């Protein structure tokens, strides 16, 4: 029966026509009707004859007293043809899919004729599994994994040979040779949670097909019916080495619909023969089907309208699930009964056709074990309820996604129905955005691993740019997941949970030839592919290669596996083993070996940095604790700019948020400051000691009012030194979020800003100012050049409009305005003009990926573009800062600076990179950077393994 599917008829329609053969060749569908009617007349004759024979047989049998049907049923006027189709359908209903094999294939079913064999020479290869004799237990612990020196030969879309020094003489003449120059080679990355193609970028209403919102339970919709192969994000994702994605419907619905595994080779430019979603299917034979389900906040928020429709609560959601499964179960039972009866008595005795119902067909297939379920569930009640459903209706779940709480409830996971415990498909450290994401841990991956579960890192593209899903895995490693498990989390593990573990995710003979060669260790900061192959075809014609020398793979650092406790506040502490200080004014003495420096802190103050022999003795006498570091670093504290830290705790919970100004209300951040929150605690312990935060305008990076400069570790705003800048800068918004009630268009928003500034120029205005904290008073400071004007804006065109306004106001005021940009996705297009106007840019995010129309011309980096915005701005001489576009990024600020460093082609130094998250922000705003804080790191803070071991204030050190 699988032939039907191989013919290209969709397996999801069990009412599909049976295959008809004429002279041994498969017949085109339009010819089927004629052939079918011919068959029918022959069949009717056959059935008539059969009936006559049966009657004769029954009478003979009755006369012999043999058991049998006492009332033999006749064909109740039903079409025998259709009954036969029904019987064929029974075989499909009973079919138990198996994982498709890899080895033994002559060619990859996706192979396009004419593509040449390729030899990738001199690579450092990660096979993706432990060497031969390693036991399963040892392999889980990481034994038997290694980077090996090898060549990889690929032909007919398959990996043929992985061996050192493959002889050219043994290969076909037309083999393409590609020299890896010793660089690291892995399987293509697999993202098990993507909406690329259905949530195309840039976001446009006309292109949004993520959720079928007409009903909460839509198992009958299919993502393949909406996948737009021309979504530019597919190519961006591929430029991060991602070759395969599971494209899921969104999580608005409890049951969202069927999902499809696609590869990112699209159309002729990528070596395909056609431009279609069908052609993108990773497994053209469609052995497995996939379905998205979701529990928790989304469905009740989207559908819950009291008195009109549900579900309104998690209780209602569970009922919606159970009722849906009950429907499907009923269909399955009726079908099974029919098929069993048809087998027993023959179709000619059936009194009705096979029960079929397209609405419940796919969910029936779930209950038949033909569909891999991926369910979005955050919280313990969600997980527990869903596990309960799996046992009530007897279906397995492959993975819980957004599974922020799975690490807390191993016993619940173990209770899930089936042989395979569900994996957790998670982000590394993205949390806090809604109540169910408020409980989360960056150590979840490690904890799950330690409990014997599998962690898979996913993007939820475009929630996270899937181009960098590998960076999620890298941070998984940073937070304690072993190196081999972190690599597996985006290669072999998702492959396994997709049922494609013999096809993708490893570099072995018989696997599909999906390969990425990296410019640096794949788990290092800023790693980018230099080339990517899908089914053996190189995907980038003219890839941009960053200026990075070939480096050795990371040597896994087992100390990362120790989860640090809560910071302890002390006054006296000694750190030894320091290699380098990046703290301005405290540079390391010239001749020191690695780790030979000591930092002595007494009474909260740095007493000594260097060899510090006398101070060490003194500290030892006083029994001060000594922390010995491996490769220690000292830096200044970091600053969060552009976030909502201090004004917001959970994005989607209004009660936890200062609230949006939405138009008229211009306010001061200091008046809304709410300190001592969980988010601020995290900021502080990750070295972000200060923040500059303005009230939000509406969504995204939009801001309106004055920003407050404060210390993240303060208990309240009255604490000494808590607020170091009451009104650091004046913020307005010219992003798309500016379009609202008071300014319905971008032009009116630009006009309103110009008009307000020009008004502030006239001296009569000054006389009218009675409230020195009013908008007018602050604008007066802006036009005098005393306070910076920070504008949230992404579009290069709107930045151009802003630069014109700046000139016009400067001409009227006869002063120079200090203007800065927050956002700046397209700022690289006007880099020279920004430099001329001395306008600084705080990139938020550092790496835009064109999610909205105003960001669509963002540079996404190598191998697609020559650098990103930061490179163009630095090259033009613009002062650049790195801001936060979402607050959870707080843990990653130093890593983002690391990306600017590593991918800067040697143009940025370590010190300059760290200035992007500290000093440059102050330079851009024209204010003094508050001093007195320092950070102690184990490892380089700009690299994946660097972690904070001490956060020093002026009176104490929080020791981690």
The binding site for ligand NAG (CB under 6 A) comprises 122, 181-182, 544, 547, 550, 866-867, 871, 875, 905-906
CA dihedral (845, 851, 854, 860) in degrees, to 10, reads 60
How far apart, in whole angstroms, are the C-alpha atoms of residue 440 and residue 456?
15
Locate all alpha helices (DSSP H) within 690-774, ordered by sequence: 746-761, 763-768
CB nearer to ligand NAG: pick between 228 and 866: 866
How far apart, in whole angstroms, are the C-alpha atoms of residue 580 and residue 635?
9
CB nearer to ligand NAG: pick between 701 and 874: 874
Min CB(631)–ligand NAG separation in Å: 20
**Looking at the chain, how many residues does it have?**
960
One-character DSSP codes across 237-296:
HHTTTEEEEEE---SSSSEEEEEEEEES--TGGGT-SS-SHHHHBSSTT--SEEEEEE-S
CB nearer to ligand NAG: pick between 102 and 863: 863
Min CB(185)–ligand NAG separation in Å: 12
Min CB(872)–ligand NAG separation in Å: 7
Residue 308 neighbours by CB distance under 10 Å: 8
CB nearer to ligand NAG: pick between 320 and 874: 874
Residue 245 and residue 189 in contact, taking contact as beta carbons nearer than 8 Å: no
**Residue 257 burial (CB < 10 Å; 0-12/13-18/19+)?**
buried
Min CB(282)–ligand NAG separation in Å: 32
CB nearer to ligand NAG: pick between 704 and 857: 857
Q: What angle do CA 216, 222, 226 make, to 5 degrees?
A: 105
Q: Which tokens sit at 601? A: 């802190």
One-character DSSP codes across 708-722:
EEEETT-SSTTSTTS
Query: Among 100, 99, 118, 122, which Cα is nearest to 156's?
Result: 118
Residue 528 and residue 547 in contact, taking contact as beta carbons nearer than 8 Å: no
CB nearer to ligand NAG: pick between 624 and 859: 859
CB nearer to ligand NAG: pick between 589 and 906: 906
How far apart, in whole angstroms, are the C-alpha atoms of residue 409 and residue 424?
12
Min CB(12)–ligand NAG separation in Å: 45
Min CB(130)–ligand NAG separation in Å: 25
CB nearer to ligand NAG: pick between 123 and 500: 123
Contacts of residue 925, defined as CB under 8 A and 6 or more positions apart, other chains included, come to 692, 728, 729, 788, 790, 818, 820, 840
Min CB(858)–ligand NAG separation in Å: 16
Min CB(661)–ligand NAG separation in Å: 39
Which residues share a beta bridge with 937? 633, 948
Residue 9 neighbours by CB distance under 10 Å: 15
CB nearer to ligand NAG: pick between 103 and 164: 164
- The residue to which tokens 């993502």 are assigned: 223
Min CB(165)–ligand NAG separation in Å: 7
Min CB(301)–ligand NAG separation in Å: 45
CB nearer to ligand NAG: pick between 282 and 841: 841
Q: What angle do CA 910, 913, 914 make, to 5 degrees?
A: 90
CB nearer to ligand NAG: pick between 107 and 181: 181
Residue 692 and residue 928 in contact, taking contact as beta carbons nearer than 8 Å: no
Min CB(829)–ligand NAG separation in Å: 14
CB nearer to ligand NAG: pick between 567 and 867: 867
**Chain residue at closest Cβ approach to ligand NAG:** 906
Min CB(548)–ligand NAG separation in Å: 7
Q: Residue 796: which H helix or E strand, with range?
A: helix 796-813
**627 φ, ψ (degrees, to nearest 5):** -110, 120
CB nearer to ligand NAG: pick between 232 and 905: 905
Min CB(170)–ligand NAG separation in Å: 16
How many contiguous H segments (helices) and E segments (strands) does the chain have? 26, 37
Q: Half-sphere exposure of 464 toward its Cβ, with a 13 Å CA cutoff? A: 25
One-character DSSP codes across 34-73:
HHHHHHHHHHHHHHHHHHHHHHHHHHHHHHHT----SSPP
Min CB(551)–ligand NAG separation in Å: 10
CB nearer to ligand NAG: pick between 121 and 415: 121
């Amino acid at each position: 029966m699988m032939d039907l599917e191989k013919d290209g008829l969709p397996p999801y329609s069990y009412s599909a026509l049976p295959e008809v053969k004429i002279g041994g060749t498969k017949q085109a569908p339009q010819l089927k009707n004629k052939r079918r009617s011919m068959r029918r007349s022959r069949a009717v004759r056959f059935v008539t004859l059969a009936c006559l024979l049966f009657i004769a047989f029954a009478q003979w049998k009755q006369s012999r007293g043999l058991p049998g049907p006492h009332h033999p049923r006749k064909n109740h006027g039903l079409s025998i043809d259709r009954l036969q189709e029904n019987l064929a359908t029974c075989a499909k209903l009973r079919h138990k899919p198996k994982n498709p094999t890899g080895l033994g294939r002559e060619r990859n079913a996706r192979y396009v004729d004419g593509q040449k064999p390729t030899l990738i020479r001199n690579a450092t290869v990660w096979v993706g599994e432990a060497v031969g004799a390693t036991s399963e237990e040892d392999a889980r612990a990481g034994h038997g994994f290694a980077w090996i020196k090898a060549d990889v030969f690929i032909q007919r879309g398959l990996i043929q040979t992985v061996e050192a020094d493959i002889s050219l003489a043994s290969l076909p003449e037309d083999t393409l040779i590609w020299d890896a120059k010793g660089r690291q080679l892995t399987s293509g990355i697999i993202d098990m949670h993507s909406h690329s193609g259905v949530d195309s970028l840039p976001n446009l209403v006309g292109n949004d097909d993520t959720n079928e919102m007409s009903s909460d339970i839509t198992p009958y919709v299919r993502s393949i019916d909406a996948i737009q192969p021309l979504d530019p994000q597919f190519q961006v994702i591929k430029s991060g080495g991602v070759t395969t994605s599971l494209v899921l419907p969104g999580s608005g619905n409890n049951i969202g619909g069927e999902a499809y595994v696609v590869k990112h080779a699209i159309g002729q430019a990528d070596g395909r023969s056609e431009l279609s979603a069908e052609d993108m299917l990773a497994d053209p034979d469609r052995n497995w089907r996939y379905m998205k389900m979701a529990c928790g906040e989304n469905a009740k928020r989207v559908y819950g309208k009291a008195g009109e429709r549900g579900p309104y609560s998690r209780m209602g959601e569970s009922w919606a699930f159970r009722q849906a499964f009950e429907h499907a179960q009923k269909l399955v039972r009726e079908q099974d009964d029919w098929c069993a009866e048809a087998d027993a008595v023959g179709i000619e005795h059936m009194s009705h056709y096979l029960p079929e119902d397209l609405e419940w067909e796919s969910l029936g297939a779930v209950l038949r074990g033909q569909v891999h379920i991926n369910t979005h569930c955050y919280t313990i009640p969600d997980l527990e309820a869903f596990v309960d459903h799996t046992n009530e209706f007897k279906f397995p779940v492959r993975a819980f996604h957004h599974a922020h709480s799975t690490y807390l409830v191993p016993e619940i996971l173990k209770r899930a129905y089936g042989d395979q415990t569900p994996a957790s498909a998670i982000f590394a450290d993205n949390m806090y955005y809604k109540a169910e994401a408020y409980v989360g841990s960056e150590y979840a991956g490690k904890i799950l691993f330690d409990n014997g579960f599998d962690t898979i890192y996913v993007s939820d593209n475009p929630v996270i740019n899937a181009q960098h899903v590998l960076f999620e895995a890298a941070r998984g490693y940073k937070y304690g997941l072993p190196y081999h498990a972190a690599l597996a989390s985006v290669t072999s593990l998702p492959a396994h949970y997709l049922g494609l573990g013999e096809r993708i995710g490893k570099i072995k003979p018989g696997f599909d030839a999906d390969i990425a060669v990296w410019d640096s260790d794949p788990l290092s900061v800023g790693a980018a592919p230099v080339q990517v192959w899908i089914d053996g075809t190189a995907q980038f014609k003219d890839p941009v290669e960053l200026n990075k020398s070939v480096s050795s793979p990371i040597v896994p650092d087992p100390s990362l596996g120790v989860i640090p406790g809560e910071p302890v506040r002390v006054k006296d502490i000694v750190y030894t083993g320091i290699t380098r200080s990046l703290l301005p004014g405290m540079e390391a003495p010239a001749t020191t070996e690695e780790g030979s420096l000591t930092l002595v802190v007494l009474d909260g103050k740095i007493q000594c940095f260097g060899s510090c022999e006398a101070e060490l003795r003194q500290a030892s006498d006083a029994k001060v604790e000594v922390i010995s570091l491996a490769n220690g670093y000292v830096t200044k504290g970091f600053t969060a700019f552009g976030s909502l830290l201090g004004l917001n705790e959970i994005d989607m919970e209004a009660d936890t948020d200062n609230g949006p100004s939405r138009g008229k209300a211009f306010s001061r951040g200091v008046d809304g400051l709410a300190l001592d929150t969980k988010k601020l605690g995290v900021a502080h312990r990750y070295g972000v000691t200060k923040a500059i935060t303005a009230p939000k305008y509406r969504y995204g990076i939009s801001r309106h009012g004055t920003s407050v400069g404060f210390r993240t570790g303060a208990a309240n705003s009255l604490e000494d030194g808590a607020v170091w800048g009451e009104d650091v800068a004046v913020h307005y918004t010219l992003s798309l979020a500016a379009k609202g009630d008071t300014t319905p268009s971008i032009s009116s928003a630009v006009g309103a800003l110009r008009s307000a500034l020009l008004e502030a120029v006239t001296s009569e205005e000054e006389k009218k100012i009675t409230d020195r904290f009013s908008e007018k008073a602050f604008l007066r400071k802006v036009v005098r050049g005393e306070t910076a004007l920070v504008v949230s804006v992404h579009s290069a065109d709107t930045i151009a409009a802003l630069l014109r306004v700046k000139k016009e106001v400067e001409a009227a005021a006869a002063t120079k305005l200090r203007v800065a940009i927050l956002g700046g996705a397209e700022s690289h297009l006007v880099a020279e003009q920004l430099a001329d106007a001395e306008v600084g840019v705080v990139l938020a995010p550092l790496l835009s990926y064109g999610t909205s129309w105003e960001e669509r011309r963002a540079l996404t980096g190598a191998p697609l573009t020559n650098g990103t915005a930061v490179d163009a701005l630095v090259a033009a001489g613009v002062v650049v800062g790195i801001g936060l576009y979402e607050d959870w990024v707080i843990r990653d600020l130093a890593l983002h600076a690391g990306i600017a460093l590593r991918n800067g082609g040697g143009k940025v130094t370590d010190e300059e990179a760290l200035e992007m998250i500290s000093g440059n922000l102050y330079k851009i705003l024209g204010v003094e950077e508050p001093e007195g804080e320092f950070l102690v790191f184990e490892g380089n803070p700009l690299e994946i393994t660097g972690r904070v071991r001490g956060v020093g204030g002026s009176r104490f050190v929080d020791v981690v």
